Structure 1
Amino acid sequence: MSGVVPLPKQRSADELAAAILNVGHGNCSFVYDGTSGVVVDVPAVEPLLQEMATVGAQIVEHLILSHADNDHIKGAAALMAHGEVTVKTLWANPDSTKLSDAFLDLLTVAADRQRQGLIDVRTNLNVGADGLLDVRRIGVRVLHPGILWAGVGPTGATHPLGAITSNGMSAVIRIELDGNPAVLLPGDLDAKGFVEMQRANVDMSAPVLVFPHHGGRSGASDNKSFAIELARAVRPSLVIFSHGRSHFVNPRKEIVEGLREALGDGVQIACTQVSRACHQETLPIASIRSGPGPFSKFACAGSLTVTSTGEGIRWSPDAARHGQAVDGLESPMCRAHQTYASVAK
């Protein structure tokens, strides 16, 4: 885990960074090179628009939707239709099992804009698209699903491949910054999808892991073992749980324990929002605020920014800044043996 150190948040006209946004229960990442970039999932559009405004970005070269759950796509239609944002290409896989209004609205808006020549739409978000989503200094590696699973799609138990869930089909994206692996975004990857990636000998290594399914149940018989195996495959120095305080009680304790067992006390663990498993009462004033908006009042680490320098991958807020929020919590799971300083690099 050497060469991965925290970095104070900075802004510049030519900044290259991946922002893991505090969107409550859901996932949203904005990877930008200067004033344009790539969006991976968008459950709520306002935090994304705020981040884009902060860096002066108005162009989304690729809008990538890992799968069709609302906590990954609910804000996508609004983003595509926004009058001050240009979305050039939408990448999303078909999923006939999803009947939500948000997914149908998304497809309707995409079809309408495609007819007007305002957007390109690609429904082949699989390993065959790897390399087609790169943007200048941003590399986008599509690690899953493979061609076989992508061709079949979500299935029932009677299929020859067995049941494949929408979560199992969730696109797994590795972001590279200036040629360096930076962030693994597995969406809601489940245990069976992870086994399929292992079978295909996929290189999943990345210094930053946004843990799948917000730290909830993995679909495995043993969530701790799933966390251990995933952590050993990715070998991250920072693990992020992107979840909402007002929804499920994530991350699960056994998953955090699995990360510690696999990675040791040197790994930094950060949640975008304060988990009710860590603090059930009213939040202390020390909680980090991640800017204006409906999600900032619950922030723990809040939104995190990952950058690449000659010294390696860095991020903010760092362990010390995150520790200011953690200090006031009742039982923070991210502390190793109650000594947060051990995770600073």
Structure 2
Amino acid sequence: MFRNIVIAAGIITLALCVPLEAAQGAPGQGLEDVQVGEKDLQTRIALICNGACGLEKRGDGVFFLRGVTAEMSLDLSARSHNIDGFTMVPDAEGSLLNVASRRILEYANTKSCVISGRPATCVDLFYADAVAQQAALATPSLTPNAEAKSASERAAPKPAPKPSLRESEPERLSRFASLGPPERLAPPQPARLASLQPVQKPVETAKPVIREERPLPAPAPQKFDYAAQVEALLGKNLTPGYCASARATLQSDPWALGAMVDVGLCEAAAGKSETADATLARILEYTPDNYEAYIGRALIALEAGEKSVARRYFQNALDAPPPMEESTRIVEAMRSL
């Protein structure tokens, strides 16, 4: 069974989740986690198994995972500069891992590695620089009968053949061993604005006006709108019909965790903060990476005036991690604290 898959690297974080029970193997063996890291023209795919994780290179971006039957398809076209994604399909005595590259693949190998203190098998992929690709396309290929060709044939562009994979690591990529294992990044820091110099304006002298001093009325306290905050961060409109549907779903299926999250949010919006916090905490006991439950608890703490607690729950939600759009909203909420 898979846990939530984290796609990350030292400078680029790719957030992604895969459905549970996506990979199974022989008794005592299975694929537990997949992590992907990317740095410049280098991409690493780390496979973490609960037993021996034997991986063999079969061809251009094709690898064979022996002893584990897995089926998945991951689209990374919006997250990665080097690959569009990869697929894993069952094959005889294992599964085939097929990486869809966006650049020319110069070199690929497999090796043992350590991810978060656990033994794993890593696929290291090295890609050609875009400038080198353009130079290869611009260089004409010389043939013995080049002079016999017509002018139109010589003027036609000739695509450069795709280079074959090298058996040894190129010298310019010898420093790839220093690339650390994938790890999660801290949320982006708020941008710092340059200090502005105040504009000095001439002060006009005016005759003082004698007025009777009266105390200013105290501003009316603004009520915290929990439902509006949930809609802004999660895009959920907690209408009475929406909440009633969530309660009915949870009553018919006690393991409907998505409906349980909605019930907790509806309880908090109705003013039942303690009951809602207990419901959301119970969800996190089953799914520790449920970012919606963390956001619900953060808003409860924010409504109670506990900004430090709310900031910690927001950070837990970012570590889950959520989709990119929700991540941006959470960072903006943390900036306003």
- Structures share fold, TM-score greater than 0.5: no
Higher helix share: 2
Please give the range of the TM-score, normalised by the shorter of the 2 chains: under 0.3
With a CA cutoff of 8 Å and minimum separation of 6, indicate the structure with the bigger relative contact order.
Answer: 1
Q: Greater CA radius of gyration, 1 or 2?
A: 2
Q: TM-score, normalised by structure 1?
A: 0.23
